[in-house]
Amino acid sequence: MADDQHEEVSKKVSAEEEIRRGITVMRRVVQGRSRGIILDVYWNNQGQLIEPNGHTLTSFIGALVRNEIPITCDDWRNKELNESKEKIWSEIKRCFNIEEERRGFCMKLAGKLLRGFRTFLSSKFLKDADGNFVDAELPKKYESLISAEEWEAFKSKRQDPVFQRISATNRERASSPAYPYRKGRVGYGRLEQSMLQKEESSETSLPAHVLWKEARVGKSGVPQEEVLHVYQKCEELSQSLSPDDTKGILSRALDVPEYSGRVRGKGFGVTPTSLSIKKGKAPSNRELHARLEAMQAELDALRREREASASTVYRDASDKDSINCTFQSNIPEGISHCQLYLSSPYYRMVGKGKVHNVSGVLLHTRELPAGCLKVSVDIAVEPNAALPYPSDDSDATTVHEAVGSFVAWPTNLICVGYETPTKSKSKDNAIPRHTESTVSRKELQENEVSNASAQQKKEVSNASARVKSSGSKKTVARKKPTTKYRSCLRTFLEMTDIPTGGVRTVHMEVGIFGFDYDQMIGNEDFMQVFSHEEIGVTVVNTYIRFLYDKLMRLNGLDVSFGFLAPATVNLGLILSRPDTVTEYVLRILMDNKDVEKLFFIPFNTGGHWLLLAINPIREIVYYLDSLGNDWTTYPDMKVLIDTVLQAFRAQRDIQTSRRGANSITWIKVACPQQRNQIDCGYFMLRFMRDTLALGRLKISTDYFEEFKCAFYTKDQVDEIKEEWCQFMIELNVCS
């Protein structure tokens, strides 16, 4: 209060009255020293001088520098000033209880005060009202501080053309600031101190943008609209930028460069070093070389680990029992339907046809290679798979090219029968072999669809029960997935025009994404699943249709969970059309404002899938990223989601405290991590599936106990593929 009263009085004093007041010599401090009174000074945790006695020390240093340093000094770093600087520091220590480590601050303050004194002399005595130079005499008040020679030299420098040009540039730049400082002589350090005292806060500092805004509040107590706009932008950025970001939030909001050694909005005495914002020293060539060697060694170790893991998988797959295949050592004589397999890099079915086990049979007038039989290829399950023995006569080198012709196939890679090989075959589901040749394509597809639908409904209806019955177990028992539905779907696909450019549609009703449309699906989308490629938005959307039909609606979970369309909410659209994304997300949330729901956002960053799960009522955002990143990797994403949730809160007329206005909680979930560059989409789909299987609106920071693991296995990823293929068959997409 005393400082404020002093400020009001000082503003009423004219320049002439200021001069008549006399030179400040700080007699009270000197007299106190004579009586043995040494004043204590205080500093905030950022190294700024504060009250009590902060203003007194500043004034004392100003009086000393005016007495000891000539006004003709233009370079504060001049070594000729060292003796005078030493004397100033000695006088400060005699009057104030101050640590030696504060010398640097005091010397910088002295230099700043000297520049201010020179500016004062020039403005008050050497310029008229229009800013033109005036050849004034040495003011009598300062004759004890300034000699006649120093005054003439000072005037001469002020008339120098170079100086005047620089002065005019600086004067023009400072004449009309966009956001003027309105706290007079109160610096940022003392302003921060008074704000913390008023709030009775236990905090030791305030964000720079909070100080910056308060410093621009005048007598009215209301900041300008432009100031509030910058402040709001800072608030949004503070939610998305890392605390270690070397460029300040305020500089980003103002869209101005950050100068070296300066922290905008913090005032004199605060540097990046005092805030522990240290710029890394450029590494030497030796250090770079050592880092490269370490990275190469780590890469080699990871490669060996991956190869060892892959070889284990291939070894397991090469065991005939492990792939549930009924390979027969003696192929029945005559012509039999069969499945054709390859063993490299792992066992899988690549085609279907007929094996001709007939005595004396030839292949294109040539004898068959040892250990092979003649087969006719009818269906290419893996079109681009290389033939074990390419045909010289037909120039066929792949399974697709061999369709309709005869090729040689190793006997140990031929499985008799069309059914998907399993250890125990269901008699109800199998098509009798003796009638197989007479079964039409339509009957075959209808049979597969019927079986798929019945089995899928049974599995889905028991999904929640299996999870709940697991109790405290960390994993849920599941059947080892097969490639049954992938093989069937691929067979059906080959019988359509889809491989040659045809497209089909999957209807997406309004309850899924909030709008009704038909999702187009083509060969590229199917191949993403068949060939284990990175999946796109079509596969994601159609799997969401599966989750909606089979897990949500079937179990009544559509009142507790929802989806947002990944084609509308993604990083590309956030950067190009943020208003469109904001309007869509806010509309969906407002349509469900009266019930607590968890909304899934399968979010694509342009080359990576992650999952956001938002509870708008509780203002919680769960962040699940199979690469282990956090939301600071995508600041634009976080800013938009926070903006939407704040707008959602406002439209629901929810009142929050000033500090609670930014209480949106982001939680990084320690979810399973992918081990390659492909599986992010499958992991993201699995995250949604796990959550729906448990039916919980809260996701633990260390993921669900029932599904907790370091990574999803190949079987768990394949389970997603099988569910998708089974659902596509049920929807009769290939008809």
| DSSP characters over 283-314 | PPHHHHHHHHHHHHHHHHHHHHHHHHHHHHHH
With a pLDDT cut of 90, the percent of the chain lying above it is 27
Q: Cα separation of 190 and 578, whole Å?
A: 40
In the predicted model, is pLDDT for residue 93 greater than 80? Answer: yes
What 3-state DSSP class applies to 384? coil
How confident is the model over 178-212, as pLDDT tens digits? 888 888 778 888 888 888 888 777 777 888 878 88
What does the buried/exposed string (b/e) look like for 405-424 if buried means 16 or more CB atoms within 10 Å of the residue's CB?
A: ebbbbbbebbbbbbbbbeee
How buried is 726 (Cβ within 10 angstroms: 0-12 exposed, 13-18 middle, 19+ buried)? buried
> Which of 64-78, 99-113, 416-430 is predicted least confidently?
416-430
In this prediction, residue 484 carries a pLDDT of: 75
With a pLDDT cut of 70, the percent of the chain lying above it is 76
In this prediction, residue 308 carries a pLDDT of: 60
Answer with the residue of higher pLDDT: 612 or 262: 612
In this prediction, residue 302 carries a pLDDT of: 65
In the predicted model, is pLDDT for residue 231 greater than 80? Answer: no
Q: What is the mean pLDDT of residues 429-453?
A: 40
Q: Which residues contact 218 (CB under 8 A, 6 or more apart)?
A: 182
In this prediction, residue 494 carries a pLDDT of: 85
In this prediction, residue 346 carries a pLDDT of: 62
Q: Based on C-alpha coordinates, what's the Rg of the chain?
A: 39
Q: What is the mean pLDDT of residues 573-581?
A: 89
Q: Which residue has tokens 């004890």?
A: 144
Q: How confident is the model at residue 269 (pLDDT cuts 50, 70, 90)?
A: confident
Q: Cα separation of 188 and 54, whole Å?
A: 12
- In one letter, which amino acid is 431? I
Return contacts of 507-512, CB within 8 angstroms, 24+ apart.
Answer: 508/541, 508/545, 511/548, 511/558, 512/544, 512/545, 512/548, 512/563
Give the residue from 194, 236, 233 showing the smallest Cα distance to 211.
Answer: 194
Q: Cα separation of 721 and 716, whole Å?
A: 9
Q: Cα separation of 49 and 42, whole Å?
A: 6
Give the residue from 731, 710, 723 showing the smallest Cα distance to 682.
Answer: 723
Would you say 194 and 51 are in contact if contact means Cβ atoms under 8 Å apart? no
In this prediction, residue 314 carries a pLDDT of: 39
In the predicted model, is pLDDT for residue 407 greater than 80? Answer: yes
Residue 135 DSSP one-character state: -
Q: How confident is the model at residue 721 (pLDDT cuts 50, 70, 90)?
A: very high
Q: What is the mean pLDDT of residues 229-233?
A: 79
How confident is the model over 464-475, as pLDDT tens digits? 444 444 443 444
In this prediction, residue 213 carries a pLDDT of: 82
Q: Cα separation of 631 and 610, whole Å?
A: 10
pTM of the model: 0.41
- In one letter, which amino acid is 718? D
Give the residue from 406, 431, 428 showing the smallest Cα distance to 418.
Answer: 431
Q: What is the mean pLDDT of residues 444-455?
A: 46
Give the residue from 155, 178, 174 showing the smallest Cα distance to 166.
Answer: 174
Q: What is the mean pLDDT of residues 416-440?
A: 40
In the predicted model, is pLDDT for residue 309 greater than 70? Answer: no
Give the residue from 635, 645, 587 showing the smallest Cα distance to 614.
Answer: 645
